[in-house]
Amino acid sequence: MSYDTNNIFAKVLRGEIPCNKIAENQHALAFYDINPQAPQHALIIPKGAYQSFNEFAAMATADEMSAWLALIADVAKQLGLTDSGYRLLINTGGDAAQEVPHLHAHIVGGHALGRMLATTA
């Protein structure tokens, strides 16, 4: 499956769709989620055309990887979540309900989040 250059995050990166930017570096962009699931909910995306974490891990340069991870840590700090805690979530593929085919990490926090997944029998 090839990268969809018309996905919403590709449009954000090109400036065709605005975002509420938190921070940015050479290889990544962080902005607030438009449908927050917690008091603090940010998205951090690489600027490269990567659909999934698997693709990013296999193809991204060391500079891209370190810049993306550094921005994730920086955003958690900027949002004031490093002491109270936060959840870092990356959905990859259909079974994980990845909605946008561009790699993105969610940082959620600002209150107690509870169990990550409901227990199943």
Residue 102 bears catalytic tag: no
Catalytic residue among 27, 41, 102, 104: 104
| Residue 88, CA distances (Å) to 14, 94, 105, 117 in order | 25, 19, 7, 14
| Tokens found for residue 16 | 């065709």
| Tokens found for residue 30 | 């962080």
Identify the CA nearest to 81 among candidates 21, 44, 41. Answer: 41
Q: Is 42:107 a contact under the CB 8 Å cutoff?
A: yes
| Tokens found for residue 99 | 């909605």
Q: Which residues are catalytic?
A: 104
